[in-house]
């Protein structure tokens, strides 16, 4: 039995791994350079889906991740951070319509739930949409998709971990890993604290490569920035994730909407001092697209803008599980963390404690990322 595990990162992955480890009887310390859910997990669209994800092993991992959210939501009283209300998507350009058609055909072949709607059927689901913004038909509906409120999910998971004996250390960055005898023996923190350990799990999201480097490992990443616009409260009925040609949106509680477009991501800039700014003109374009889609929201304004850094391994697939050359060092790093974290975090935790999870984790091992 592993006596003590240090989990680096207190986002959706770190909290999931910590809760699963603590539930299985391990002594766990979770460390984060900032506040729990204060990084990428607090600035994410958090759409739960496996819509168009390839290869098939990755699609299946995401489907199982969605199932894990359903189980937790059913098991936890008042665990209403999970919203499985579906996703509507349509396209305008011919090439985009063909791509959407191909995606639907692929997921249907995989047994994933999807169907085509016409305008009237879409309006029955989202009555406040502008009918003129919808095509007559060709609207894809994925009923088992939805979103999570990641900060509330992290809070629940960390509370469960702490109740089982875990310690959460916040605002204390990892500055070093002591590696001897083929394993990590201690974790050093900026405060000067030294944590002896039997295993380490790298759940540091966009900082995962830095943590890996402290252990002498090279993790190739291609992180990208994501800009999210949080609106003022508006009295419109929005229940689902909506992917329209000009804007992507979902509810965000209290009558607010969360808006995003791929174009606005490019409007984020980082200064020499590390300050992040977003061009106001790009934010205005996103808000106007939301108003056009939901005319009842014409008084909507941008209440806040957040910029998250998406942790994306170089080939786009998760990096999960133990490292062959450093067997007590484990990864739980991926894009789509909101979908994957509960299930993948549980797999990683089981492997930390000596269980064989190669059947599920083999396609996502660190070793595939090595440059030959």
For the chain, give every residue range classified as CATH 3.30.9.10. Answer: 224-310
Encode pLDDT of 300-328 as tens digits: 999 999 999 999 999 999 999 999 999 99
CATH topology for 4-48+150-220+314-369? Answer: FAD/NAD(P)-binding domain (3.50.50)
pLDDT tens, position by position, 134-193: 999 999 999 999 999 999 999 999 999 999 999 999 999 999 999 999 999 999 999 999
* 1 confidence band (pLDDT: 50, 70, 90): low
CATH 3.50.50.60 in the chain: give the residue spans: 4-48+150-220+314-369
How far is 233 from 301, CA to CA, in rounded Å? 9
Distance of CA 319 to the CA centre of its chain: 14
What's the pTM?
0.96
Give the integer Cα–Cα distance in Å for 64 and 104.
19
What's the rounded Cα separation, in Å, for the pair 342 and 48? 12
Q: Please state the rounded mean pLDDT for residues 272-293.
A: 94
- What CA–CA distance (Å, rounded) separates 8 from 140? 39
Q: What are phi and psi of 186, to 5 degrees?
A: -155, 155
pLDDT category, 371, cuts 50, 70, 90?
Answer: low
Other C-beta atoms closer than 10 Å to the C-beta of 295 total: 14
Highest CATH level, class, for 224-310: alpha beta
Any bridge partners for residue 169, and if so which?
Answer: 31
């Amino acid at each position: 039995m592993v006596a003590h595990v240090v989990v680096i990162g207190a986002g959706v992955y770190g909290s999931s791994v910590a809760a699963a480890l603590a539930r299985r009887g391990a002594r766990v310390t979770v460390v984060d350079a900032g506040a729990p859910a204060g990084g990428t997990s607090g600035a994410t669209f958090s759409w739960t889906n496996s819509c168009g994800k390839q290869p098939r092993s990755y699609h299946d991992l995401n489907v199982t991740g969605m199932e894990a959210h359903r189980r937790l939501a059913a098991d936890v009283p008042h665990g209403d951070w999970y919203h499985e209300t579906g996703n509507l998507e349509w396209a305008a350009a011919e090439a985009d319509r063909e791509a959407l058609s191909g995606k639907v055909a692929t997921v249907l072949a995989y047994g994933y739930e999807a169907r085509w709607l016409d305008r009237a059927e879409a309006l029955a689901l989202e009555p406040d949409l502008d009918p003129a913004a919808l095509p007559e038909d060709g609207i894809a509906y994925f009923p088992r998709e939805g979103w999570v409120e990641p900060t509330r999910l992290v809070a629940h998971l960390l509370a469960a971990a702490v109740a089982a004996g875990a310690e959460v250390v916040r605002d204390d960055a990892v500055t070093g890993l002591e590696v001897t005898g083929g394993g990590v023996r201690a974790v050093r923190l900026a405060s000067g604290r030294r944590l002896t350990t039997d295993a380490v799990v790298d759940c540091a999201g966009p900082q995962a490569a830095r943590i890996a480097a402290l252990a002498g490992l090279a993790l190739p990443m291609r992180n990208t920035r994501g800009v999210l616009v949080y609106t003022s409260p508006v009295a419109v009925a929005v229940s689902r994730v909506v992917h329209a040609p000009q804007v992507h949106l979902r509810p965000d509680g209290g009558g607010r909407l969360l808006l995003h477009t791929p174009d606005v991501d490019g409007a984020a800039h980082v200064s020499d001092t590390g300050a992040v700014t977003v061009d106001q003109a790009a934010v205005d374009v996103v808000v106007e697209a939301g108003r056009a889609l939901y005319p009842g929201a014409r008084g909507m304004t941008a209440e806040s803008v957040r910029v998250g850094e998406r942790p994306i391994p170089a080939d786009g697939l998760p990096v999960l599980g133990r490292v062959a050359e450093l067997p007590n060092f484990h990864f739980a790093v991926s894009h789509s963390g909101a979908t994957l974290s509960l299930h993948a975090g549980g797999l990683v935790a089981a492997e930390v404690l000596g269980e064989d999870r190669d059947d599920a984790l083999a396609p996502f091992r660190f070793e595939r990322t090595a440059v030959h």
